[in-house]
Structure 1
Amino acid sequence: MWTSKAWRIKEMLRWVRKATSMRGAQWRLTNFINIAMELVADIGLLKPVRKALKTVKTHRDAILARWASGLNNARIEAPGGIFQAAKCRARGYRNDDTFISMIYLLAARVQNLLKST
């Protein structure tokens, strides 16, 4: 029963993210916070969810700024994934140059490597 409530909250948050306009996002986010708080109001096991909802409520304006700016953090997160992959592949090497080389090999486009030879 509580798992289904947590799942419903997650799906509602996904619904908020699909808003196409700022006004729609404001309405969806307000709806999301109100309904989600009602769902977890008296359940002690979902206290972390309640804390997360309070954080969403606190940072509401910053969350809505995403629709105003149209920017996201994908360009910042992408290199992090490349670094993690390089770290896994370069495991056991003690040389920093090897790690850096692995990052270059993973991040470079094959077409660019072929043109340079």
Structure 2
Amino acid sequence: MIGDNTILDPIRKALGTVENHRSRILERWTSTHSNARLEGFNGLFQAARARARGYRNTTTFATMIYLIAAPLGDLFKST
């Protein structure tokens, strides 16, 4: 029988998870929120990690993030 087949246990587990979280899954699809800002921050962190390679403390890493993310070029533009 197909219903008693143990090979389908992972599929049963996945379907159970979807059924248990169905309301939250549907809310997510109707929500207007996104994780775009977090993805943007992640890009900054990855760029800082690439540039700050070899530094050993977190202060230098945080400074590199500030230098990458800060609009320093706007400070020097003539008005």
Number of matched residues? 73
* Counterpart in the other structure of 2:72: 113
Map 1:45-64 → 2, pairs under 5 A? 47=10, 50-64=12-26
User: Does the C-alpha gap of structure 1 residues 42 and 71 become closer, same or farther in structure 2, counting only changes over 3 Å?
Assistant: farther
Choose 1 or 2 for highest CA Rg.
2
- Cα deviations by residue, 1:40-95 (Å, 9 ceiling, x for unpaired): x9573882x55344322211111111233321222233313322332233221023
Let me know the Cα RMSD of the aligned residues: 3.0
Q: Percent identity?
A: 53
Q: 1:94 aligns with which of 45, 50, 56?
A: 56
Instruction: Write the mapping of 1:1-117 to structure 2, written as runs, cut at 5 A.
Output: 42=5, 44=7, 47=10, 50-108=12-70, 112-117=71-76
| CA distance in 2 between partners of 1:45 and 1:84 (Å) | 40
- Higher percent of residues as helix: 1
Taking structure 2 as the reference length, what is the TM-score of the superposition? 0.59
Structure 2 unpaired stretches of 5+: none
Matched letter for residue 59 of structure 1: H
* More divergent stretch after superposition (64-73 vs 49-58): 49-58
Distance across 2 between alignment mates of 1:70 and 1:53: 26
